[in-house]
Amino acid sequence: MKTKKAAKDMSVAELAAYIDQSVLKPEFTQEEIRKYIQEGIDYGCRTVCVNPASLDIASKLTEGTFTKICVVCDFPFGVSTTASKIIQAEEYCKRGDIFELDVVANYGWIRSEMWNEVKADIQAVCDVCHKYETKVKVILETDALTVEQIKKATEVVIQAGADFVKTSTGFFTGGKSDGATEEVIGAMLEIAKDRCMLKGSGGIRTREYFLKLIDMGIDRMGIGYKSTPIVLGVSEENPDNEETY
């Protein structure tokens, strides 16, 4: 979504509304989960993105705040059966406090050009989530794909009825880990146009790049908990090697 206002002229609150703060590391203690969710709330992030086991904590902390809950589904590999994904989505959404759900597409199927299966898999999850008025973001794991596969998969995601198409999990280990590069974001925007929103994740660690992606027309970004104050311009510390979901 191209905004009329340049990102450099936006307030901290306006910029924070672009952020899903990632609180997804599986080794986090309960204390750490509470700490980083609360930081996302304090910064005014649009959502905190959490694992399903953290939903009760997130629900309690975000209640009555601007910050909503984004839960991941079949994360980070996306290789459960469609029936399993449906059960997962239903279990989370029926709580009534889930704003958005980020589901991982079966990117092995994308690489195999199984487009009918990819579409059916995504559409099944969208149908469940939309029943509860929960928006769906579909993660393609773009580091595993070619640019042409990314473009085709973006079109399929749109046809399946998803609200967002998204780049990465931040947990890909099968090759490069570039995440939301300009080339990838540009390719997805070219296909999505105004038909679907776009979330970038992975490699968004500097304020300069964060602002650039907003000006390019991105709708949301997954930002690691250490990088949030950096991109918002409230801290100058450089978080070395911090993965950004």
- pLDDT of 174-185, one tens digit each? 899 999 999 999
85, 119, 137, 199: the active-site residue: 199
242 contacts: CB under 8 Å, gap ≥ 6: 205, 224, 226, 227
- Cis amide prior to 76 (ω within 30 degrees): yes
The reply to whether 199 belongs to the active site is: yes
The reply to whether 102 belongs to the active site is: yes
The reply to whether 127 belongs to the active site is: no
Q: Where are the domains of the chain?
A: 7-231
pTM assigned to the model: 0.95
**Per-residue model confidence (pLDDT) at position 3:** 77
φ, ψ of residue 224 in degrees (nearest 5) = -65, 150
Identify the CATH assignment for 7-231 out of 1.10.1040.10, 3.20.20.70, 3.90.1150.10, 3.30.230.10.
Answer: 3.20.20.70
20, 74, 102, 219: the active-site residue: 102
**Per-residue model confidence (pLDDT) at position 237:** 62
Contact 115, 152 (CB under 8 A): yes
**Per-residue model confidence (pLDDT) at position 4:** 79
**Separation of alpha carbons 121 and 146, rounded Å:** 21
- Asked if the model's pLDDT at residue 1 lies above 70, the reply is no
% of the chain residues with pLDDT over 70:
96
163, 166, 219, 226: the active-site residue: 166
140 to each of 77, 117, 157, how far by Cα in Å?
Answer: 10, 14, 9
Establish how many alpha carbons lie within 13 A of residue 12's alpha carbon, considering only the half-sphere containing its beta carbon.
11
